[in-house]
Structure 1
Amino acid sequence: MAEGKKEFPAYSALFNLMQDSMFVRDNLSYKIISLYKDIGSNLEIYDENRLREILFDKIEELYNERIRHYRLKKDFLTDEDKETLEISKFLLTNDVDGYFSGLYKIYPRAFYCKKCGNFHVFYSDEFKNIDMQQCSNPKCNGKYIQFPFVGFCETCGKITDQFNICEKHGDKFLKLIQYDVTSPITWKLRCAKCGTEKDFLTTCYHNHYGEKISKESPSKFRPINVQQGSVSRPVVETMVDIPRELHLNDIRYLDYISLGLYLGQFDAIKEDLPDIFAGLPHILSQMDIRKYDFENDKKYFDSFDDGLMKSYDIFFSELKDLSFQSKQTAHEVNDYLILTGFYHTLFNLDSVIDVVKLEDLEGYDNTLKESHEVLKEDLGIADIYYLSDIHLISSAIGSNKGMVKIGPEAVPHFEPYRNSKTNNLKILSYPFETEAILIDLDKIKLVNWLIDNKFLKRDYPETKEQASIILLNLLKDDEEDAYVELHKLIHTFSHILIKRSSVYTGLQEDSCSEMLLASLGAFLIYSTSNVKIGGFSYVLENNLKEWFGDVKLDVGDCVFDPVCIDDEGACFSCLYLADHACCNFNKNLDRDIFLGSIRYKGFWD
């Protein structure tokens, strides 16, 4: 990046280098001004339509919830915004051939002399010529240091580096007075000329670019320390890219088809499915599945023989009856089928994705299988898959402004990225290939746990199929509390394994990340390292028992117990991961889910 060089590993760049993000180098804080578009160095995105659909839903949810919660005078996002949403792959470079990834500037440009308190905001030309090693006060031999605070309005979400000045003398004679060095709220700016003294932050009137966006009364800005990384944090979503070889990316009903495949609705015509899928894009482009009637729609199948026509009739009849209330669940089903190798097995595609079950790994003998089956049953794991080469897309969809309150009811000031010229919504995507493991939990045990803890009022399921349907329909059946607890269990399990990963996989915990498929009772742990070292492959073949074996001991131990376990059941010492490693900002975690000592009947009881 221009104005100096700042480098991050490619994956973590999304969490550090997005527009309006800030970083610290050599005790100075900087703000990202702009990012440059990719010039062909990034991998291809196979299915931009699906990426747009999924990410817009997330943007719409976060942004509209912010508007409702804070009663802002801003327009809600609609489907029209989805149509114009821009997908941009940003330029990743290590300064080869003189390229930069973008631009950044020093922020804030306010400095003060630590010795005499002389306070000054330096503007572009002035900043280049100023000597930071010498205070401009001729009677002082002190040095300038950067002022560490900007203002944040909790009412409207505005971030400002505008500071109070003297009404008579402007900013020429300002001096910082620190009445209590440890308490910035006591700091004042005094005019050395007339003695006028004010808080260093101005008042927020909730005007953004000249437009008043809140009906609330003016309020004071809250100081935020820019060197603590909480001014503007990118929100990053990771998803599986639909492999091009599947030829499914043009089908409008892909998520519903995925649900039917997952539930076995098309098993009766399984042999004909490859032929059915080959003709689907053309047929679906001409008909409305919601009004499907075989007698009226026979004309679309005239080129097929009678047997295939009957298979199409069964397929569309089943498809018509499938429904999702939750788009999130639909996307999770699709990802799950790709990650477990269901698609490439069904269509005999060797080149799509290399998925191997634990027991099918090379060198996996009966002795290992026997011990691992006991371990899996003890932890509630049904299957473990190794994916040696998977295509993922991580996308920055916007940023959370200012401090985010903790708790399930907290609503961040989420602001989506926009094209500065067109004002269209914009996402910044990074497609990459990596290795991963998929942990598929025991569906029956998950549902039983929800019932035992009274989050669900259901009969205990007798089969995996019954349990799978219950999990899939939690959001559809208005059982969101049960879904939240299910998500918390899976999220916590993922963190437990990632925290232990460095000892056995060769991957540090900040070189791993996660993707949760709560409705499917599964989670993915993948490497974010720039270099594939085969860490997951090695540990599955050699150290799985050691990696998983002592998790119960780890879960029961935190240096801040009993405070940690009594309060939230998770903290920075035991379960928190780096921002770019966690999919949900370390929210919705609780060790007690597995311990079962305070709030829960334990999952491992």
Structure 2
Amino acid sequence: MNFNRGKVQILYGYLPGAVFAHDEYGHCRVTMIELSALGQINRAALAEVVGDMLNQWPNDWQRQAFPAVRNADDLARNYFVGEPTGVKFEPFPTALRCPRCGRVYRLRDLQRSTATPGQCPLVGCGGKLEQMPFVQAHQCGRLDEMFVQREGCSIHGTTSLYFDDTGRVTTARWRCRQCAGAEVARLRQTPCNCSYSLLGTEDPSEKRLRFLPVTDPAVFKPQIAPFINFPHDDMARLSGPEARPWVLARIWGLLATPVRDAMAAGSTSDEDPMVAAAFRDLAALAPDNPRVREYTARRTARHAGAAVADRMLRLVPGATPQTLRVSRRLLEQVAVLDNVATLTIDAAAQRAANRGDEPHERRLRDIQIWARERLGLAELRALDGFPIGLAAVGFTRIKADPNQTILNPFPQYNRRTPLYAVVAETEAIYFQLDPQRVVRWLQQNQLLPTAPLATNEEAWARLYGEVPGLGLRRNDPLFQQPAASAVRTLVHSISHVLLRHIEWSGYAAQSIGEYLIPEGIACVLYASRYTDTRVGGLLTLFEQGIDRWLRSALDEGGDCVLDPFCSEEGGACVGCLHREFNCTEFNRELSRAVLFGGTVAQHGPALVPFGPNVSGYWRM
């Protein structure tokens, strides 16, 4: 049997191993996904995010079914990247219960009988059969139907055995009808001898499969990695050593023009001495000649571009273009700034002025100043046409936390491990923090030595030189450098606080994804829409409601329904910052304390770098 679903629907709810409710066939389990090859995809970016996701599972045995992904060649050799086009499935569970008499049958036995399909075969009953409501699952990825009792009571055997479904695993029982409903057995948990049971836990309860309602989201948890899908050639031009000074200059605010233009203007290799002498002679005779003006403008830009690159290198002592450290995420940040249609607050204010809406123009200009001074947001932009992709890498059961699960691949496709991917251009909001304020915040929390700062570029140079863990991948030892962990926690926490109040856009918070760029102290919040139509909710929010959005984030972002317990234990839980979907960090490195400050009695993992008194970024 097969059917069709939307591409993103398939990624989140219909991948192989998932259980879902079908309108006609009841509960079913997905067995296979039909794929079509994806051509226009940045495989280098995909390889990096897949490798980073695999490395979130800390031990080899937790991800041993996956081939290593170090680069795009590994991806091409071992993985099949495809776009889902259809779903094949089978009935699951296959044990059926009659709600009238409580008797339980297996589908294969009923198929051999002469009873009316879908009806209880017990003489005189004829009730409509329903699937059993529970399944068994384990952190290793195993999924079984619940055990069907084969032994009845000691007096009547199985002739009067029935299942008493109370709706709860803890109280459901196998009973004997002739013994006035006496209990015969409880639900029996199946032991699991998997790697997780042997190596990953000492808790006896986690060594057995757990009963879950068949509709429980814990039955199947897809692990999905977002990646930015800029063309490979564009990214390759930015990744060469000659481009690195301009890439950093663009991020650090030293360069106001796209990197490709600065590189073209900054090149002096085409300045022939004889041509230069000829133009100097012509300029002396006819200074207003159009060719002279064009040459002079190009030469001025050339020297200005070279000056930016030189200034950039002076900020990093001893650096050369070859030794500058530039991560892929910084390249993507530059590509966003250079290639994606953006709307700044200044531009939105000018639009309001052009249509004569002076009160709204003033509100926008006021909120721009307020956001920088009060929230430490140096830059805010709306993006139209943000090229995002999602790739389903594997799945877990019961939990999503890499420390408590085994990551499972999907069944092989064309003899390779499949990655189910969708790509689209969508709307988004980009924010970047104030580098001087970030450095001062690190100093107040005693994570950087105190030293005066005069300019943004000095602050950027300090972050670059003294917090190298920001630009490194997860498997590097410096990744967990205390200051780097603190900055990641800061950017991540601001992202989640803003997402709590995204309803001003008309989107539900869970339908908005985040793409963190901690080395650029930036983040992109994007709409998870992969259709040809765009709602425009985030763009409207940016232009019409950004003041309400940001002020509500500050006014209510410090609250949690589970306080004071949440605040005392780290300041992040299901009542405030945790998200069920679209968090690639699995709700780690999050805390309201990094924004609002306070004394934390029991530090959660996100606050390990900090002392007992946390200085809040939004309280500076």
TM-score, normalising length from structure 1? 0.73
Alpha-carbon distance in structure 1 between the residues aligned to 2:540 and 2:19: 37
Please say if residues 235 and 396 of structure 1, whose CA atoms lie closer than 8 Å, have aligned partners that are also in contact.
yes
**Cα displacement string for residues 433-486 of structure 1 (whole angstroms, at most 9, x for unaligned residues):** 1111101111222233233234x2433572232244145544564543433333
How far does residue 172 in structure 1 lie from its aligned partner after superposition?
Answer: 8.5
**Cα displacement string for residues 542-573 of structure 1 (whole angstroms, at most 9, x for unaligned residues):** 32212212222211333333344334534444
Counterparts of residues 379-394 of structure 1 (less than 5 Å): 379-394=375-390
Alpha-carbon distance in structure 2 between the residues aligned to 1:120 and 1:517: 54
Specify which of 451, 454, 458 is matched with residue 449 of structure 2: 458
Question: Per the alignment, do residues 573 and 215 of structure 1 end up closer, same or farther by CA in structure 2, a change over 3 Å counting?
Answer: closer
Question: Per the alignment, do residues 588 and 202 of structure 1 end up closer, same or farther by CA in structure 2, a change over 3 Å counting?
Answer: same
Runs of 5+ unmatched residues, structure 2? 270-301, 314-318, 354-360, 601-613
Please say if residues 132 and 144 of structure 1, whose CA atoms lie closer than 8 Å, have aligned partners that are also in contact.
no
Question: Per the alignment, do residues 273 and 441 of structure 1 end up closer, same or farther by CA in structure 2, a change over 3 Å counting?
Answer: same
SS in 1 for 2:513: strand
Q: Which amino acid aligns with 2:501?
A: R
Question: Per the alignment, do residues 129 and 538 of structure 1 end up closer, same or farther by CA in structure 2, a change over 3 Å counting?
Answer: farther
Please say if residues 150 and 159 of structure 1, whose CA atoms lie closer than 8 Å, have aligned partners that are also in contact.
yes
Specify which of 24, 27, 36 is matched with residue 38 of structure 1: 36
Please say if residues 357 and 386 of structure 1, whose CA atoms lie closer than 8 Å, have aligned partners that are also in contact.
yes
2:593 aligned residue: 592
Alpha-carbon distance in structure 1 between the residues aligned to 2:241 and 2:173: 59
2:94 aligned residue: 109
Question: Per the alignment, do residues 539 and 186 of structure 1 end up closer, same or farther by CA in structure 2, a change over 3 Å counting?
Answer: closer
Runs of 5+ unmatched residues, structure 1? 93-100, 280-306, 325-329, 342-351
Please say if residues 66 and 414 of structure 1, whose CA atoms lie closer than 8 Å, have aligned partners that are also in contact.
no
Please say if residues 392 and 421 of structure 2, whose CA atoms lie closer than 8 Å, have aligned partners that are also in contact.
yes
Please say if residues 255 and 331 of structure 1, whose CA atoms lie closer than 8 Å, have aligned partners that are also in contact.
no
Alpha-carbon distance in structure 2 between the residues aligned to 1:464 and 1:140: 78
Q: Which amino acid aligns with 2:45?
A: R
Alpha-carbon distance in structure 1 between the residues aligned to 2:330 and 2:109: 52
Alpha-carbon distance in structure 2 between the residues aligned to 1:73 and 1:511: 31
Is structure 2 residue 416 aligned with structure 1 residue 416? Answer: no
Is structure 2 residue 559 aligned with structure 1 residue 557? Answer: yes
Please say if residues 514 and 525 of structure 2, whose CA atoms lie closer than 8 Å, have aligned partners that are also in contact.
yes
**Cα displacement string for residues 269-319 of structure 1 (whole angstroms, at most 9, x for unaligned residues):** 987834999x9xxxxxxxxxxxxxxxxxxxxxxxxxxx99xx9x999x934
Specify which of 559, 568, 577 is matched with residue 566 of structure 1: 568
How high is the sequence identity, in percent, across the aligned residues? 18
Specify which of 25, 42, 47 is matched with residue 42 of structure 2: 47
Alpha-carbon distance in structure 2 between the residues aligned to 1:340 and 1:414: 35
**Cα displacement string for residues 36-95 of structure 1 (whole angstroms, at most 9, x for unaligned residues):** 1238xx8x52422432x21441354145x3544x6x986874758545233433244xxx
Greater displacement, 181-190 / 433-442:
181-190
How far does residue 128 in structure 1 lie from its aligned partner after superposition?
Answer: 12
Is structure 2 residue 83 aligned with structure 1 residue 90? Answer: yes
Alpha-carbon distance in structure 1 between the residues aligned to 2:522 and 2:201: 44
How far does residue 380 in structure 1 lie from its aligned partner after superposition?
Answer: 0.8
Alpha-carbon distance in structure 1 between the residues aligned to 2:538 and 2:508: 12
Please say if residues 35 and 84 of structure 2, whose CA atoms lie closer than 8 Å, have aligned partners that are also in contact.
yes
Alpha-carbon distance in structure 1 between the residues aligned to 2:580 and 2:144: 27
Q: Which amino acid aligns with 2:263?
A: L
Question: Per the alignment, do residues 481 and 243 of structure 1 end up closer, same or farther by CA in structure 2, a change over 3 Å counting?
Answer: same
Alpha-carbon distance in structure 1 between the residues aligned to 2:379 and 2:66: 46
Question: Per the alignment, do residues 198 and 510 of structure 1 end up closer, same or farther by CA in structure 2, a change over 3 Å counting?
Answer: closer
Specify which of 333, 336, 339 is matched with residue 333 of structure 2: 336
Question: Per the alignment, do residues 60 and 576 of structure 1 end up closer, same or farther by CA in structure 2, a change over 3 Å counting?
Answer: closer
**Cα displacement string for residues 225-275 of structure 1 (whole angstroms, at most 9, x for unaligned residues):** 22111122111111111236xx34557x92866654333499999878349
How far does residue 122 in structure 1 lie from its aligned partner after superposition?
Answer: 1.4
SS in 2 for 1:36: strand
2:538 aligned residue: 536
Please say if residues 467 and 483 of structure 2, whose CA atoms lie closer than 8 Å, have aligned partners that are also in contact.
no
Alpha-carbon distance in structure 1 between the residues aligned to 2:367 and 2:523: 22
Question: Per the alignment, do residues 256 and 235 of structure 1 end up closer, same or farther by CA in structure 2, a change over 3 Å counting?
Answer: farther
1:344 aligned residue: none
1:223 aligned residue: 211
Please say if residues 45 and 227 of structure 2, whose CA atoms lie closer than 8 Å, have aligned partners that are also in contact.
no
How many residues get paired?
524
Counterparts of residues 468-487 of structure 1 (less than 5 Å): 468-469=463-464, 470-474=466-470, 475=472, 477=478, 479-487=480-488
Please say if residues 340 and 385 of structure 1, whose CA atoms lie closer than 8 Å, have aligned partners that are also in contact.
no
Greater displacement, 72-81 / 18-27:
72-81
**Cα displacement string for residues 298-350 of structure 1 (whole angstroms, at most 9, x for unaligned residues):** xxxxxxxxx99xx9x999x93432347xxxxx222122111222xxxxxxxxx
Please say if residues 152 and 222 of structure 1, whose CA atoms lie closer than 8 Å, have aligned partners that are also in contact.
yes
Counterparts of residues 149-168 of structure 1 (less than 5 Å): 149-154=134-139, 156-161=140-145, 163=147, 166=150
How far does residue 398 in structure 1 lie from its aligned partner after superposition?
Answer: 1.0
How far does residue 395 in structure 1 lie from its aligned partner after superposition?
Answer: 0.9
1:400 aligned residue: 396
Question: Per the alignment, do residues 21 and 444 of structure 1 end up closer, same or farther by CA in structure 2, a change over 3 Å counting?
Answer: farther
How far does residue 414 in structure 1 lie from its aligned partner after superposition?
Answer: 1.0
2:605 aligned residue: none
Question: Per the alignment, do residues 87 and 369 of structure 1 end up closer, same or farther by CA in structure 2, a change over 3 Å counting?
Answer: farther
1:442 aligned residue: 434
SS in 1 for 2:333: helix
Alpha-carbon distance in structure 2 between the residues aligned to 1:129 and 1:275: 83
Please identify which structure carries the higher helix content.
Answer: 2
2:500 aligned residue: 499
1:509 aligned residue: 509
1:433 aligned residue: 425
Question: Per the alignment, do residues 249 and 556 of structure 1 end up closer, same or farther by CA in structure 2, a change over 3 Å counting?
Answer: closer
Greater displacement, 175-184 / 440-449:
175-184
Q: Which amino acid aligns with 2:43?
A: E
Question: Per the alignment, do residues 552 and 75 of structure 1 end up closer, same or farther by CA in structure 2, a change over 3 Å counting?
Answer: closer
Question: Per the alignment, do residues 222 and 452 of structure 1 end up closer, same or farther by CA in structure 2, a change over 3 Å counting?
Answer: same
Please say if residues 513 and 525 of structure 1, whose CA atoms lie closer than 8 Å, have aligned partners that are also in contact.
yes
How far does residue 502 in structure 1 lie from its aligned partner after superposition?
Answer: 2.2
Question: Per the alignment, do residues 132 and 518 of structure 1 end up closer, same or farther by CA in structure 2, a change over 3 Å counting?
Answer: farther
Alpha-carbon distance in structure 1 between the residues aligned to 2:469 and 2:195: 43
Greater displacement, 493-502 / 72-81:
72-81
Q: Which amino acid aligns with 1:487?
A: R
Q: Which amino acid aligns with 1:24?
A: A
Please say if residues 364 and 541 of structure 1, whose CA atoms lie closer than 8 Å, have aligned partners that are also in contact.
no
Is structure 2 residue 617 aligned with structure 1 residue 603? Answer: yes
2:491 aligned residue: 490
Alpha-carbon distance in structure 2 between the residues aligned to 1:66 and 1:397: 17
Rg larger in structure:
2
Please say if residues 248 and 254 of structure 1, whose CA atoms lie closer than 8 Å, have aligned partners that are also in contact.
no
Is structure 2 residue 350 aligned with structure 1 residue 360? Answer: no
Question: How large is the RMSD of aligned CA atoms in angstroms?
Answer: 4.5
Please say if residues 340 and 385 of structure 2, whose CA atoms lie closer than 8 Å, have aligned partners that are also in contact.
yes
Alpha-carbon distance in structure 2 between the residues aligned to 1:107 and 1:84: 34
Question: Per the alignment, do residues 122 and 332 of structure 1 end up closer, same or farther by CA in structure 2, a change over 3 Å counting?
Answer: same
Is structure 2 residue 14 aligned with structure 1 residue 17? Answer: yes
Please say if residues 104 and 162 of structure 2, whose CA atoms lie closer than 8 Å, have aligned partners that are also in contact.
yes
Q: Which amino acid aligns with 1:490?
A: V
Q: Which amino acid aligns with 1:337?
A: V
Alpha-carbon distance in structure 1 between the residues aligned to 2:65 and 2:541: 51
Question: Per the alignment, do residues 128 and 392 of structure 1 end up closer, same or farther by CA in structure 2, a change over 3 Å counting?
Answer: farther
**Cα displacement string for residues 208-231 of structure 1 (whole angstroms, at most 9, x for unaligned residues):** 9xxx99999995322232211112
SS in 1 for 2:439: helix
SS in 2 for 1:120: strand
TM-score, normalising length from structure 2? 0.71
SS in 1 for 2:35: coil
